[in-house]
Structure 1
């Protein structure tokens, strides 16, 4: 067991060419050797792209919209983060997953080449949700303020430079979304967009149900929409991360669920920052068919 002081606000460490949260890198073999089960469902995103929202939606779909069943445990136990390390503050993702009954939800932010090989061998179903880069950058900045496992972000301007250069945990947003998008050509991955989910949750939830071979009535889909709305989830202690100790997540700095909208970046980006970001975006995304909306 380690004390919280030994893991908070540490610099990132490189693992196979990717910057990673310091404490997660310890005993990386546990990730590489992880054995998935054939019916595991992988929920994968770049950080701050609606991961918790998607996890709760998938849990509701699997449980036929039964909100009481979905309150059986906190989201970090229902959909454990694979790479979460056992740092004396909470159980490791691998250990929690070993305890969970099938079909397991496996949450991860890992880039494609860090995901355990067993997932590819077993042809596991995966759901990837992508969010526009500008809103991700703003949300990730605020998350750094409150999540003490991450390094301090510095000013917004300083953090944005790091984000654009890929010098943040999990690396470049551009590489992450492009590689997962490319992988859909050869693996059963349902690729969703955060903005589509905000605009038309019914349509997107039906896509998830079809992908998971679940038949849900319109009434059940409506229940899922209500239960997983931003306001409902923000006030739900099972999913809003208030169960985490303040030594790890300091909700006085920023709430885990802050705004949950598309277009908040306009409140942060200066004209010069926006122009610089757009130039980088055009270079990084040229040649990719992947399209994003930055507002609704």
Structure 2
């Protein structure tokens, strides 16, 4: 089992404590037109990140908050761990250095200098839109696993997450949150803009879109796709083992060991179609309309299978 994210959990704990002392209106700041959580990100970190030099062997998980970055991150780390044990190479995902990169945009201004010392196979997660990533990510063609989730379930999960995540503004009602979600007034901005911007890279050879729903439907096939994309050759039996250890329930059962007190927060339910318990008919129509206008004719929009997962 991949090691706990000790340093990242420390960052989360500190951000929760600070956020509890802040007024709601101070919990977010805007950088290049996009809102971010004040206690997790900063202007200084974003400026320092501009000098970050990506490598062609970096493994990047890009996904909007609540699109499955923790789950897919676990799958990838299980694949790497299994591959390294099989090939008896020196492990590359252990040690304090690994914890530097849970999320590219979270941390301190010196982290990018420290990352230069990390050897082959850096695993990087990010919630950023494509245009806000360091340019070297694309010029050096780092491989990017682009995580997608149907917007209705993502919004539902984000709303429930905001209730327990102090660095995020909380809401008295779903209706109040829905208005902010639709206008992009939430941490990391608009999911619709996020998908539209990433769609510009949907055909890049070093970018592979994959959906939360397809991996829930067929975990083994999803694990195989990820292993092939990141060039981690494993046997059928080894891939089955990774799929079993990476099931949402298995991760939730081990979440206290891997993520401490944040286990239940980060691994809440992980289901599909939970949105039906919250969306009103008017809200369904409003989201259907914006998806049709912004994304229905795009490659990523088709990949999401909106008519399958987001229609009553």
Instruction: Place the TM-score, normalised by the shorter chain, in its bin.
Output: 0.7 to 0.9
Q: Note the alpha carbon deviations across 1:256-279, whole angstroms, 9 max, x for none.
A: 211111100011112222222222
Counterpart residue number, 1:33: 51
Indicate the larger mover: 8-17 or 199-208.
8-17
Counterpart residue number, 2:128: 110
Query: What CA distance in whole angstroms lies between the structure 1 residues aligned with 2:216 and 2:258?
Result: 18
Deviation string, structure 1 residues 50-104 (Cα, Å, up to 9, x no partner): 101111111122222689x899579x82851111134xxxx98647745644211
Tell me the equivalent position of 1:61: 79
Equivalent residues in 2 for 1:178-197, closer than 5 Å: 178-197=196-215
For residues 156 and 214 of structure 1, what CA distance do their matches in structure 2 show? Answer: 42
Distance 2:117 2:261 in 1: 20
Counterpart secondary structure, 1:192: strand
- Relative to 1, partners in 2 of residues 1:135 and 1:219: Cα closer, same or farther, differing over 3 Å? same
Which consecutive residues of structure 1, in runs of 5 or more, have no partner in the other structure?
Answer: 245-250
User: Is the partner of 1:226 in helix, strand or coil?
Assistant: helix
Distance 1:156 1:96 in 2: 41
Q: How far apart, CA to CA, are the structure 2 residues paired with 1:230 and 1:40?
A: 25
Secondary structure of 2:125 counterpart: strand
Range with bigger deviation, 167-176 or 97-106: 97-106
Taking a change above 3 Å as real, the CA distance of residues 228 and 239 of structure 1, as seen in their structure-2 partners, is: farther
TM-superposed CA distance for 1:164, in Å, is: 0.8
Q: Which residue of 1 aligns with 2:88?
A: none
* Structure 2: segments with no counterpart, 5+ residues: 1-10, 86-90
Q: Distance in 1 between matches of 2:172 and 2:142?
A: 39
Contact 1:45 1:129 in 2 (8 A): yes
Higher helix share: 2
Give distance in 2, aligned partners of 1:25 and 1:261. 32
Report if the CA contact (8 A) 1:130-1:194 is conserved.
yes
Which residue does 2:33 correspond to in 1? 17
Preserved CA contact (<8 Å) 1:52 1:239: no
Sort the Cα spacing of 1:130 and 1:93 in 2 relative to 1 into closer, same or farther, 3 A.
farther
Could you tell me how far apart the structure 1 residues matched to 2:65 and 2:239 are? 26
Is residue 2:291 matched to residue 1:281?
Answer: yes
Once the two structures are superposed, the pairs formed by residues 36-115 of structure 1 within 5 Å of their partners are 36-64=54-82, 77=99, 79-86=101-108, 94=112, 97-98=115-116, 100-115=118-133
| TM-score relative to the length of structure 2 | 0.80
In 2, distance between residues paired with 1:70 and 1:255?
28
Please, what TM-score do these two structures have when normalized by structure 1?
Answer: 0.84
CA RMSD of aligned residues (A): 3.1
Summarize deviations over 1:203-249 as a string: whole Å, max 9, x none.
121111111112111111111111110111012136763355xxxxx
CA distance 1:184–1:286, shift in 2 (3 Å)? closer
Q: CA deviation at 1:121?
A: 1.8
